[in-house]
Amino acid sequence: MSGARLRPRQGQGDRRQARPSRRLLDDKILSQHERKTAVKIGIIGTGAIGTNLVRKLTKAGHSVRVANSRGPETITDLATETGATAVAAADAGQDVDVLILSTPLGKVPDLKPFIDRVPDHVVIADTSNYYPFRDGKIDAIENGQAESVWVEECLGRPVIRAWNALTQHTLENKGAPKGTPGRLAIPVAGTDPAAKKTVSDLIDDTGFDAVDAGPIEDSWRIQPGSPAYCTELTGEQLTRALDLADRENDRLRREMVFPIVSTWPDAHGDDMVALVRAVARLPRLLGL
Ligand SMILES: NC(=O)c1ccc[n+]([C@@H]2O[C@H](COP(=O)([O-])OP(=O)(O)OC[C@H]3O[C@@H](n4cnc5c(N)ncnc54)[C@H](OP(=O)(O)O)[C@@H]3O)[C@@H](O)[C@H]2O)c1
């Protein structure tokens, strides 16, 4: 299907909203941030996503401080394996350039006292997604507020949303070196271009191209249920998928997908990807 046919029709009840085209990497920012220097990174969360990020980012040569809710003494194996430094959650954002939050979204308010101590220059990235069955019902999000805008309001400072739209299985197994034909891409959303560039470079280090999904207000385009969410696409496909986002119907689709997945006794990451691709009709719309 051609790109032109994917564009929303006006005045015919199509809820998709046109997305301004953006370049992934701004030339000016690129020249200001010539790579590759080691980045000092803090990560809060040692679950499925946090642990994989620790492994990949230390392997890429970055220095990582890692924390969870139970204390550094529970992270010694991961620290020994990767060379990361296990710290208390209150200290994860100290002496770092980037702090990655990888907790359930419903736990983000608990992080506010730690974030208040994080210097302003530190870029904060957030991997979280809203699942009401896990996070409790959050009225603002239920009423349409973008999940990451809610996170920003909770923390009182900007975040870059990243690594939220791929499964643990994809993150662990499907990264590839930059330039590999067919390399998968993941979206990154946020309002500050320099912060977004910093996080996009780290995404690259974890094995994926980064595609700009716009400012944080537009991050609903990469929420659960959206065509960009966990669908394992290349950069070109992902750019088209972002334009297919449909705020209201994507939320309905999210609510349908997880009851199905919860009935699978041995759900595999590839099953999940096949399901969400089908729900968004990507095999036909993107010719997958
Ligand atoms: N799993 C996926 O495939 C996937 C994919 C993309 C995005 N995400 C999103 O990324 C986030 C993390 O997902 P996950 O699957 O890695 O979660 P998870 O396995 O449940 O791990 C969550 C981590 O957050 C830590 N944590 C919770 N509350 C905390 C607090 N108050 N202070 C410090 N640490 C705290 C937990 O600490 P303890 O270990 O001490 O309990 C745990 O290490 C979620 O929002 C999820 O929706 C998940």
The pLDDT of residue 23 is 42
Regarding predicted confidence, which is higher, 24 or 265? 265
- Ligand 1 near 110 CB (within 6 A): yes
- State the Cα–Cα distance between residues 277 and 288, nearest whole angstrom: 9
The pLDDT of residue 37 is 87
Q: Which atom of ligand 1 is nearest to the CA of 134?
A: 47
Residue 107 CB-half CA count within 13 A? 14
Q: How many beta carbons lie within 10 A of that of residue 25, not counting itself?
A: 15
**Distance in Å, CA 135 to ligand 1 centroid:** 11
The pLDDT of residue 267 is 78
- Ligand 1 near 233 CB (within 6 A): no
Under the banding of pLDDT at 50, 70 and 90, the label for residue 258 is: confident
The pLDDT of residue 20 is 53
For residues 145-153, average pLDDT: 98
Chosen CATH of 18-285 out of 3.40.50.300, 3.40.50.720, 2.60.40.790, 1.20.1090.10? 3.40.50.720
Question: What ranges in 215-280 are assigned the alpha helix state H?
Answer: 235-243, 247-261, 269-279
The pLDDT of residue 122 is 98
Q: Please tell me the residue having the least CA distance from ligand 1 atom 17.
A: 47
Q: Which atom of ligand 1 is nearest to the CA of 111?
A: 31
| pLDDT tens per residue across span 53-73 | 999 999 999 999 999 999 999
Three-state SS across 46-99? CCHHHHHHHHHHHHCCCEEEEECCCCHHHCHHHHHHHCCEECCHHHCCCCCCEE
Q: How many beta carbons lie within 10 A of that of residue 181, not counting itself?
A: 6
Question: What ranges in 74-192 are assigned the alpha helix state H?
Answer: 76-82, 108-115, 132-135, 139-142, 147-155, 168-173
Q: In the numeric block, which tokens belong to residue 218? A: 């537009």
Under the banding of pLDDT at 50, 70 and 90, the label for residue 35 is: low
- In this predicted structure, the answer to whether residue 8 has a pLDDT above a threshold of 70 is no
Q: Which atom of ligand 1 is nearest to the CA of 129?
A: 47
Mean pLDDT, the chain, integer: 90
Order the strands of the 184-188 sheet from edge to edge: 209-212, 184-188, 233-234
Q: Does a cis peptide bond (omega within 30 degrees of 0) precede residue 36? A: yes
Give percent of the chain above pLDDT 70: 88
Residue 225's region, left for phi above 0, alpha for psi from -120 to 50, else beta, is left
- Ligand 1 near 188 CB (within 6 A): no
pTM over 0.75: yes
Q: Are strands 98-101 and 123-126 parallel, antiparallel or unpaired?
A: parallel
| pLDDT tens per residue across span 88-114 | 999 999 999 999 999 999 999 999 999
